[in-house]
Amino acid sequence: MTPQQARERFAAARVARLATIDPSGRPHLVPIVFAVDGDTVYSAVDDKPKRTTELRRLGNVRANPSVSVLVDHYDEDWSKLWWVRADGTGRVLEAGTAEAEHAITLLAERYPQQRAVGAVLAIDVARWSGWSSG
């Protein structure tokens, strides 16, 4: 799979898994919704019930910006399996900045139920990689 094919499959997926590293070096993995703009992946803190809008993933990215995001497709017909990973550098965009507002617009177009209430995570992808059985 070429990097372009990987980005296209990634961008078409509906949910991904974000991997960050906490300050003690332990991995932290969470599902996210996202939007892709070129080689940047955006995800935002939304208004679903949570204890705080200062999510652990944001603190992790501030401490160590190296992140990976994975999307995959499973099928009982294993000839249809595939996965794509985006490896890059995360940045926390504070609400109200031009880039954060752009990201929120992209996310709302993709997920009408998305209601951003906090910071936006921007991931500058350095490497798109993937595998497909077919």
On whether residue 134 sits in a domain, the answer given is no
C-beta atoms surrounding 1 within 10 Å:
16
The CA distance from 52 to 83, in Å, is: 31
Q: Which domain holds residue 15?
A: 3-126
Structural domain count, the chain? 1
- Per-residue pLDDT, 119: 85
On whether residue 106 sits in a domain, the answer given is yes
On whether residue 131 sits in a domain, the answer given is no
- Residue 116 belongs to a domain with what CATH number? 2.30.110.10
Burial class (CB in 10 A: 0-12, 13-18, 19+), 103: buried
What does each of the 134 residues of the chain score in pLDDT, given as a tens digit? Answer: 899 999 999 999 999 999 999 999 999 999 999 999 999 999 997 654 445 556 789 999 999 999 999 999 999 999 999 999 999 999 999 888 999 999 999 999 999 887 766 789 999 999 999 999 97
On whether residue 87 sits in a domain, the answer given is yes
On whether residue 105 sits in a domain, the answer given is yes
**Alpha carbon of 102 to those of 83, 119, 131: distances in Å?**
27, 12, 31
pTM confidence score: 0.90
On whether residue 32 sits in a domain, the answer given is yes
On whether residue 33 sits in a domain, the answer given is yes
The CA distance from 123 to 134, in Å, is: 29
On whether residue 133 sits in a domain, the answer given is no
- Per-residue pLDDT, 55: 76
- Per-residue pLDDT, 49: 45
Q: Helix H segments across the chain?
A: 3-12, 56-63, 98-110
